[in-house]
Structure 1
Amino acid sequence: MLDGAVAWMNARGNTEQWGTTPFSTSPRMVELVHRYMTENAAFLAEADGTSVGAVVLDNGPHPQMPIEPAGEPERYVRLLVSDRRYAGRGIGAALLAHAAEETRRAGVELLRVDCWAGGGGELVAFYERQGFTPTEPFLSGAWPGQVLARRVGAPRADSGRKE
């Protein structure tokens, strides 16, 4: 999925967000993805037995990113990707809704994400449509980024009780 996302972005003229090298050919990126999938809470979306999207949640931003911790418990979207062959089917939105529910279920009220803010801000606008609010812009080298936050609320005390 990540290689397909890089190819899709590059075909649209976006070589800045994730570069031009397929993730699978970079040992550093393969290791990063392996750590994300094994050390964090990873969730896959499937269609007809095929993985079509993934979201990875952690307890805060990546330590190498120039982002301050929230100062309260949070869940942080470390990775969101969908198979571009299934674009337009709401996979990213469904994975973010699941991330919000997992955050709420953990008793945490804050869900944050950072994303590439270049290219006219299309990715920032996507997260805004999912209920996130921009909180702080940042630069990681020359890479323009934006942190966004969404309050998901605490789980209801009676959420497991049947009437």
Structure 2
Amino acid sequence: MRLRQGGPADLPVVLAMFDDTVAWLAARGLSGQWGDQPWSRDPDRVRLVEELVADGLWVAEAGGSPAGVLTVREQAPEYAPPAGERELYVRLLLVSRDHTGADVGGKLLAFARRQARGNGVALVRVDCWSGGDGALIRYYEGQGFTPTVRAPVGEREVQILQIRP
């Protein structure tokens, strides 16, 4: 797996990953996370993804194709309670459906932890949908994160998790 700094030119790749993931989730009855319509057709969601890719995007490539994306910032989203210290916040972690099961997400999270340590940051936080069967929360726990608080985001709730790198 190769990791490269991404940016606005990667918008179509990220939107395609969202669209594929939304279709996959909806087919499994999990549309509560991101809905059941392609993000690329929703101007508000396209704007959100534009913001995510404009600052701090990393693209993992495997076999010459995008395998996953990661966006990290030293600023938490406004719905997250303040950490009370410097932190690195994972704003986006998304793995291509074509690369599921290859630990792309785990490698991207390990990169985020290394980035935090290298910048003298002792806290990494992430959030995920708290609904469904809890699989996302269990995934992050399996990556070493500890659940802290839940926060409302619109009509849904997210679980905030943290790790000390």
Normalised by the size of structure 2, how large is the TM-score? 0.86
Is residue 106 from structure 1 mapped to residue 122 from structure 2 by the alignment? no
Q: Is the 8 A contact 1:116 1:145 kept in 2?
A: yes
- Compare CA radii of gyration and give the structure with the larger one: 1
Is residue 69 from structure 1 mapped to residue 82 from structure 2 by the alignment? yes
Tell me, which stretches of 5 or more residues in structure 1 are unaligned?
A: 153-163
Is residue 78 from structure 1 mapped to residue 94 from structure 2 by the alignment? no
- Looking at structure 2, the residues matched to 32 and 139 of structure 1 have their Cα atoms a distance apart, in angstroms, of 18
Equivalent residue number for residue 34 of structure 1: 50
Equivalent residue number for residue 20 of structure 1: 36
Q: Deviations over 1:100-125 (max 9, x none)?
A: 11111111010001110111211000
Equivalent residue number for residue 8 of structure 2: none
Q: Deviations over 1:72-117 (max 9, x none)?
A: 0000000000111211111111111111111111110100011101
Equivalent residue number for residue 156 of structure 1: none
Is residue 9 from structure 1 mapped to residue 25 from structure 2 by the alignment? yes
Equivalent residue number for residue 124 of structure 1: 137
**Any idea what SS the aligned residue of 2:76 has?**
coil
- Looking at structure 2, the residues matched to 132 and 60 of structure 1 have their Cα atoms a distance apart, in angstroms, of 18
**RMSD between superposed Cα atoms in Å:** 1.1
Select 2:65's aligned residue among 50, 66, 89.
50
Tell me, which stretches of 5 or more residues in structure 2 are unaligned?
A: 1-16
Is residue 134 from structure 1 mapped to residue 147 from structure 2 by the alignment? yes
**Any idea what SS the aligned residue of 2:133 has?**
helix
TM-superposed deviation, 1:47:
1.0
- Looking at structure 2, the residues matched to 10 and 58 of structure 1 have their Cα atoms a distance apart, in angstroms, of 29
Equivalent residue number for residue 158 of structure 1: none
The structure 1 segments of at least 4 consecutive aligned residues displaced by more than 3 Å after TM superposition are: none
Aligned AA (1:50): S
Q: Is the 8 A contact 1:60 1:69 kept in 2?
A: no
**Any idea what SS the aligned residue of 1:119 has?**
coil
Normalised by the size of structure 1, how large is the TM-score? 0.87
- Looking at structure 1, the residues matched to 150 and 47 of structure 2 have their Cα atoms a distance apart, in angstroms, of 27
Percent of aligned positions with the same letter in both sequences? Answer: 43
TM-superposed deviation, 1:26:
1.1
Q: Is the 8 A contact 1:132 1:149 kept in 2?
A: yes
Count residues with an aligned counterpart: 149
